[in-house]
Amino acid sequence: MLLGIDVGGTHTDAVVINQQGIVAAAKVITVHESLLHSVQMALEEVLKSVSPRQIRKINLSTTLTTNAIIEQKLDPVGMFVSAGPGINPEQYKIGKYYFPCQGSIDHRGVEREPLADDQIESYLQTCKANDVRHYAAVSKFSPRNPIHEKILEKKLQPYADFITLGHQLSGRLNFPRRIATAYYNSAIRQPFNRFADAIEDSVKKLGIQAPINILKADGGTMPFSVSRRLPVESILSGPAASVMGIVALCDIHEDAIILDIGGTTTDIAIFATGAPLLEKEGITIGGHSTLVRALITRSIGIGGDSLVQINKGKLTVGPQRQGPAMALGGTKPTLIDACNIKGLATAGNKQASIDGIALLAEKLQTTPPELADRIIETAVSSIMNTTRELIQEINNRPVYTVHEMLTDRQLAPEKVYVMGGPAAAMSGTLATAFNIPATVPDDYAIANAIGAALTRSTMELELFADTEKKTLIIPVLDITEEIPSQYSLDDAVSRGKTSLAAYLRNFERQDINEDDIEITEADSFNMISNYFMVGKNIRVSCQLKPGIEQTYRKGLETS
């Protein structure tokens, strides 16, 4: 049995699933001040009907780190940054103890200027004097050569409880994002670790002996021990849990649009041939862009409780939330009231909806049913426009080869999946507007917890080989080694795959099939000097994409 827990802003949902379907589910109010307590409550609730011994795996999605960043509850971090030429590193100042250092590494990973010991020593004294215990070291082009970050690590070690090294976060190139990601990782490490200790403790006390995984925003999980090293990877995993829930509940094989219509907002996600699409870069949080990978989602201020208003003769729906609907005793009309009038929803007192909408209809000299039509139309067209913009953005992503320019596949959604409270009410109108069939899955109310329970590990790695310098580097695995000068792209591709699989297999009960690993980049460039080839510049990226436990999914279909 698999146990999934999603700590959300309002509710904490838990679900236990076996191969026949859902065994137990719980929904408790999230206690913002003690997320641990919320998790414990939900766990105790589901364990009423399930033996703890039967649980094989726990997947947990939590808002702990997200809240810490948004509420600025961050530990001071000593940020040591070696930049070299480029944009002034002062532009990326983050936190109080930010120290741009001398030193430079270029795009080939060649050290062009060494670090300056005296300078680092003096910055360290400042940190020491202020009792800074968390550190991060980031150098420009560290995914090409982490030497400066490693030297800094040695120097920081005596003073540090925890150090984040930039190259271990991601092999992708983006120095400002590396700085922000490393900073957050160190700044939230302590609260995350305390939370992790407490979770581990209470799980043991409840008699569960299963490994724990933490959900990430890319729709996958990471092993518990990894999350203690990379707590930043746990931010904003909530929307991903819902998207993975849809994957679990519906058998998606085509290009599709996923709409999660809540009370306040509608979250949009996009699938290409059945797989959720990932953002090209990473999450932006607390005003800083990071390297934390995420599923593509867009949020717009249209939901069931969106306020309906007439401003200077113009009808608006949202983005302000006004709950509950008048049908449920509210004071102002909402989108749900409009659905009620049209018979699309059956919420509470229909007459109250009619009366509320009638007041607005008078202003526009129309009837309540006609205005209700226009309200729904307005909401649907906002959702549709944002979705279309998003699809256009995806279809317009730059490519860098002639071949890709000529063969570029354009996304063309064939189906729209709708979940959330007003899903059933809106699906028909949405299907008509998008002109494709709409599906509303069963159990959508706890889809997030189901998604959390069934999602599997994800992982991305970049490999960079330079046969002129005879070096190979896999930054996230901290691998740097010598290669022969005849090292080929094929060698690099298979090395990338085996390294990724071996890393994940290292963790308890991780069953990784190398065929599931997708190669997202495999390029080899001949490097020429004075009209002679001096070596190859090889880049490989591979990933284990988000996916769900198929054997368990089948149970959900029949349940």
Partner 1 sequence: MISADNKLGVIFFPAYDWAIDATHPEREERLLYTQDQLREEGIFDISGINEYKPEIAAQVDINRTHFCYPNVEAVTTESHLIAAGGAIKAAQLVMEKKVDKAFAIVRPPGHHAMKVVHGNRGFCNINNEAVMIEYIRETYGQCKIAIVDTDCHHGDGTQNIYWHDPNTLFISLHQDGRTIYPGTGFVSERGGPNAISKTINIPLPPQTSDSGFLYVIDEVVLPILEDFKPDLIINSAGQDNHYTDPITNMSFSAQGYARLNEKLNPDIAVLEGGYAIQGALPYVNLGIVLAMAGVDYSHVREPDYDPEKIRQSTKIDVYIENLCREIMDQYRQPIKPVGQEGDFSSRSKSVYYDTDGISDEQTEKVMICSACAGLRIIESRSSVHDRCLGIEIPINACPRCQDAGHRSLEDAKNAMRYRFIKLINRVDREYQTFNQEELSPLSKYFF
Compute CA 449 distance to the chain's CA centroid, rounded to the nearest angstrom.
15
DSSP 457: B
Closest CA to 436 of 418, 413, 419, 420: 413
Tell the smallest beta-carbon distance from residue 277 to partner 1 (Å). 17
Contact 306, 321 (CB under 8 A): yes
Answer for which of 48, 71, 72, 107 binds partner 1 (CB under 8 A) is 107
Among 49, 528, 551, 557, binds partner 1 (CB under 8 A): 528
Minimum CB separation of residue 169 from partner 1 in Å reads 14
Site for partner 1 in 293-332 (CB under 8 A): none
* Sole binder of partner 1 in the list 102, 174, 193, 320 (CB under 8 A): 174
In the range 115-154, which residues lie near partner 1 by CB under 8 A?
140-141
Separation of alpha carbons 95 and 101, rounded Å:
16
Q: Which of 229, 288, 342, 470 is the binder for partner 1 (CB under 8 A)? A: 288
**Residues of the chain by 3-state class (helix, strand, coil), percent to 5:** 40, 25, 35
Q: Which of 175, 417, 434, 487 binds partner 1 (CB under 8 A)?
A: 175
Taking CB under 8 A as the criterion, the residue among 73, 112, 409, 505 binding partner 1 is: 112
Q: Of the ranges 20-28, 224-232, 364-372, 520-528, which one interacts with partner 1 (CB under 8 A)?
A: 520-528
Q: How many CB atoms lie within 10 A of CB 404?
A: 12
Q: Which of these segments, 83-91, 205-213, 330-338, 373-381, binds partner 1 (CB under 8 A)?
A: 83-91
Report in angstroms how near the CB of residue 122 gets to partner 1 at its nearest. 22
Least CB distance to partner 1 at residue 280 (A): 9
Report the Cα 328 to chain-centroid distance in Å: 34
173 binds partner 1 (CB under 8 A): yes
Query: Minimum CB separation from partner 1 for residue 68, in Å?
Result: 20
In the list 67, 119, 289, 367, the residue contacting partner 1 (rule: CB under 8 A) is: 289
Binding mask 389-418 for partner 1 (x = CB under 8 A): -------xxxxxxxx-xx------------
**Phi/psi at 213 (nearest 5 deg)?**
-120, 150
Quote the CA–CA distance of 362 and 364 in Å, as a whole number.
5
List Cβ neighbours of 272 (8 Å cut-off, separation of 6 or more): 255, 411
CA dist 190 and 314 (Å) reads 50
Name residue 511's beta-bridge partners: none
Shortest Å, Cβ 312 to partner 1? 28
Q: What is the DSSP string of 405-424?
A: HHHPPPP---EEEEESTTHH
Residue number, 112 or 154, with CB nearest to partner 1: 112
Residue 363 burial (10 A CB sphere; 0-12, 13-18, 19+): exposed
What single-letter DSSP state applies at residue 555? H
Q: Taking contact as CB under 8 A, which single stretch among the options 60-68, 104-112, 423-431, 501-509 is the one that binds partner 1?
A: 104-112
3-class DSSP state of 176: helix
CB 156 within 8 A of CB 124: yes
Stretch that binds partner 1, among 63-71, 229-237, 469-477, 519-527 (CB under 8 A): 519-527
Question: Where on the chain is the footprint of partner 1 (CB under 8 A)?
Answer: 83-89, 91, 104, 106-108, 112-113, 140-141, 172-177, 281, 287-289, 396-403, 405-406, 523, 525-528, 530-533, 537
